[in-house]
Amino acid sequence: MCSFGYQTYEENDFEHELSFEAVCETRGFAEEIGVDTSCCMGLSEDTEVEQLASIQAVLEDGIKEAEEAGAREMGRCVMGYKWRPDGDGYRCEGGTHYVRRGEIHKYLKKKNS
């Protein structure tokens, strides 16, 4: 699954065998949410597996950073607590409110469109 349409990137979606296509899919999602994808310059079907792994790791780190920034930008929960990573999303430090990563992705896509 990738982030096109109403689908969202999920961390486990890219744990399958590393390939040029998988890195391209991650890059496409990263671009949609505003992540710098300059690490992909020169990427081709002939790119070595070690370089693909390095590019994939950089993209995934960028996606995680964008999610964390998006959670901060969306503001605190209605009770004024900050968000912290929790499972497939973010839970407020008060423990009662939760926002899924997909909601943060929608926010970032809208912001970057």
44 phi and psi, to 5 degrees?
-150, 175
Calpha distance 21→44 (Å, rounded): 10
Tell me: the pLDDT tens digits for 46-99? Answer: 999 999 999 999 999 999 999 999 999 999 999 999 999 999 999 999 999 999
> For the CA atoms of the chain, what is the radius of gyration?
15
Please classify residue 47 by burial: count the beta carbons closer than 10 Å to its beta carbon, then call 0-12 exposed, 13-18 middle and 19+ buried.
Answer: middle
On whether the pTM is more than 0.85, the answer is no
The two counts, helices (H) then strands (E), for the chain are: 3, 3
